[in-house]
Amino acid sequence: MGYDFSVGRPQTLNSFTRQVLWKLLKVVKFGEMVSYQQLAALAGNPKAARAVGGAMRSNPVPILIPCHRVIRSDGAIGNYSGGGQTVKEWLLAHEGIPTGQPASKGLGLIGSWLKPSFESSSPKPSG
């Protein structure tokens, strides 16, 4: 007797959804969070924050492709298709991410927010 562990076929997802999920998986690491708007920009369409929400709902494996790390720009955690807000809060807390922290405008967010790739993490030379 065999078991079927299939979780969905990525080719059934539209190209934007695949791109969003891939960026989320590759760029947003354990202990970081990103806003829907930031993730839209990372996926190449900064005005597609609502479409990113649709991509999160289409995520075939929400625990493996970490859509719990995507929150609203105002700091609210938003929805989670992998088990609701309580599960999302628990997953964020497990990663050491406090929920309900205020957010900054644009991509220059601080704390455990994802920082834009054009920012340097090394200190500037003095002098």
Beta strands in the chain (DSSP E): 34-35, 70-71
Burial grade of 42 (CB within 10 A; 0-12, 13-18, 19 or more): buried
Residues labelled catalytic? 67
Cα first-last separation, the chain: 71
CA pair distance 57, 95, nearest whole angstrom: 21
